[in-house]
Amino acid sequence: MDHIVLVGASAAGLTAADTLRREGFTGTLSLVGDELRIPYDRPPLSKQVLAGDWEPHRSALRREADLQQLRMDLRLGCRATGLDTAERVVTLADGDRLGYDGLIIATGLRPRHLPFGHDLAGVHVLRTLDETLTLRAQLQAGPRVVVIGAGFLGSEIAATTRGLGLDVTLVDVEATPLARQVGTFVGGLVADMHRDHGVRLCMGRHVTGMSGEDGRVTAVTLDDGTRLPADVVVVAIGSVPATEWLAGSGIPLGDGVLCDRTCQAAPRVYAAGDVANWPHPAAGGRVRLEQRTNATQQAITAARNLLSGPEQAVPYTPVPFGWTDLYYTKIQTCGWCPSDATVDIVDGDPEAHRFVALYKVDGRVVGALGWNNARALRAYRSQLAVSVAA
C-alpha cells in the first residue's frame, strides 16, 4: 500500500494517521479536513472553551511539531466532495483528485437544524471551535439564553452558560434532560441539579417558532403558547452523519457509513468515529456511537485492519464509554443505558451525589452509569467487557 487517504481531520482521522505510522506504514498519508484549524478536540468546546477557562489552542489534538512528525500531506480547509471506489479516487472541492490504495472515512457529524430560526442573528449551533468562539463572544453582553435540546450537549451548554451567571432556559420535548440518553431516573437527578443552579426548565415542550426583530432573535415560542424572551438561542437537537460527499459512490449509507464488523465499508475503505455504523454483537444489531473514546478506539482498529487486510482483520467490539461534565458533577456511562431499562443503585447513594447505577434489560446488565464515581465505575466497565467478549 503506497497511498492512504484519511478524510476528516479530527479525533478519528488523526488517530488513524498516528496508528498507521506507529504500525510502520511509510507511504504517503493524506489527511483531508474541511476546517481551517489544525485538528482540535471537541469535548472541551462546550465546557472549558465556552466558559472561557481554556484558550482555544489548548484544545489542539497535537502540537505543530508532533503533526510534522507524522509526515502527512495535510489538507486543511479542503472539503472532500466525491468518491469513486472503482477508480479509487477522492475528489476535493479545490478540484484536486487524490488516488488511494486505502481510505478511512472519519467525517463525523453535522448539527441538525430546526426548520426555522437559523437565519436570525443570535441563533447558534455548536460543533466546531469557530462556532464556540462566536457563541462565547455573544455571551459577553450578558444575554438571556435559551438552549433547545437537553441531551448531553444542550445540558452542558446550559450548565456552562449558567456558570457564567447568565439567565438560562433549557427546553426539551422529553420529560427530563438526558431522558433518551440515560433514562428518566438519572434524567430527573440532572433536572434537579439544573434547577438548583438556577436554570429554568421547560420539559415536555415542543418549540414551535422563533421571532426576531431587525434580523435578530428576540423570543422562542413553545407549543403551550409560552413565549421565552431570548437574545441568544443555542439549538442542540442532535446531529446527522456527514456523508453527503459519499452519495452515489456505492458506499453503503444509512445512519452513517454502514460497515461490517471490522469497520470495512467497501474493499480498502474503512470508517471510524461518529460517522461509522457497524454491527456490534452485544447490541444485537447495528450501532453508531457519538463518544470521544470511540473515535480513538475505532480509528485504531480501522487503521490496523486496513493495513492487515481483510483476512487478518479483527471485529470491533468495544464497551461504549462516554462522559459529561455538568456543574461539579461528572457523569460517565459504559455499555448501553437505554431509557426502558431498570436502574439499580449498586454503589453509593444519589442523595450523597455519588453512586453507580446498573442498567438491566430483561434481567441482563447492559450498562452502568457513574455519578461522581469514576473509580468505582471502572470495575463494572471491566465486567461489561467480559460479557461483550463472551
Ligand X SMILES: Cc1cc2nc3c(=O)[nH]c(=O)nc-3n(C[C@H](O)[C@H](O)[C@H](O)COP(=O)(O)OP(=O)(O)OC[C@H]3O[C@@H](n4cnc5c(N)ncnc54)[C@H](O)[C@@H]3O)c2cc1C
Q: What residue ranges bind another protein (CB under 8 A)? A: 11, 15, 18-19, 22, 41, 43, 61-62, 292-293, 295-297, 300, 321, 323, 325, 330, 332, 372-375, 377-378, 381-382, 385
Tell whether residue 8 is a contact of ligand X (CB under 6 A): yes
Please count the residues of this chain forming the interface with ligand X, following the rule CB under 6 A: 35
Tell whether residue 327 is a contact of ligand X (CB under 6 A): no
- C-alpha 19/C-alpha 22 separation (Å) is 5
Whichever of 126 and 266 has its CB closer to ligand X, that residue is 126
Distance of closest approach, residue 30 Cβ to another protein, in angstroms = 21
Nearest Cα residue to 98 out of 23, 20, 28: 28
All three cell numbers of 322 = 462516554
Nearest Cα residue to 234 out of 111, 142, 325: 111
Whichever of 189 and 295 has its CB closer to another protein, that residue is 295
Instruction: Write the CB contacts of 66 (distance below 8 Å, at least 6 apart in sequence).
Output: none
207 pairs with which residues across the strands? 222
Q: Which of residues 39-78 bind ligand X (CB under 6 A)?
A: 42-43, 45-46
Q: Which of residues 241-280 bind ligand X (CB under 6 A)?
A: 242, 245, 273-274
Tell whether residue 194 is a contact of ligand X (CB under 6 A): no
Strands 285-287 and 276-280: antiparallel
Residue 297's binding partner out of another protein, ligand X, none, with CB under 5 to 8 Å set by partner kind: another protein
Tell whether residue 231 is a contact of ligand X (CB under 6 A): no
Whichever of 152 and 219 has its CB closer to ligand X, that residue is 152
Tell whether residue 290 is a contact of ligand X (CB under 6 A): yes
Whichever of 37 and 330 has its CB closer to another protein, that residue is 330
Whichever of 293 and 317 has its CB closer to ligand X, that residue is 293
Whichever of 88 and 124 has its CB closer to ligand X, that residue is 124
Tell whether residue 369 is a contact of ligand X (CB under 6 A): no
Tell whether residue 107 is a contact of ligand X (CB under 6 A): yes
- How would you label 233-254 residue by residue, b for 16+ Cβ within 10 Å and e otherwise? bbbbbebebbbebbeebebebe
Give the number of other Cβ atoms within 10 Å of residue 175's Cβ: 13
Whichever of 123 and 157 has its CB closer to another protein, that residue is 157
Residue 33's binding partner out of another protein, ligand X, none, with CB under 5 to 8 Å set by partner kind: ligand X
Residue 12's binding partner out of another protein, ligand X, none, with CB under 5 to 8 Å set by partner kind: ligand X
* Of 25, 33, 234, 367, the one binding ligand X by CB under 6 A: 33
Whichever of 79 and 200 has its CB closer to ligand X, that residue is 79
- C-alpha 9/C-alpha 22 separation (Å) is 18
User: 248 phi and psi, to 5 degrees?
Assistant: 80, 0
* Of 88, 124, 127, 162, the one binding ligand X by CB under 6 A: 127
Window of 8-16, 202-210, 260-268, 345-353 that interacts with ligand X by CB under 6 A: 8-16
Whichever of 133 and 385 has its CB closer to another protein, that residue is 385
Whichever of 40 and 278 has its CB closer to another protein, that residue is 40
Distance of closest approach, residue 46 Cβ to ligand X, in angstroms = 4
Strands 354-361 and 342-349: antiparallel
Tell whether residue 32 is a contact of ligand X (CB under 6 A): yes
* Of 153, 170, 201, 356, the one binding ligand X by CB under 6 A: 153
Interacting residue ranges for ligand X, rule: CB under 6 A = 7-13, 32-35, 42-43, 45-46, 79-80, 106-109, 126-127, 153, 242, 245, 273-274, 290-292, 295, 322-324
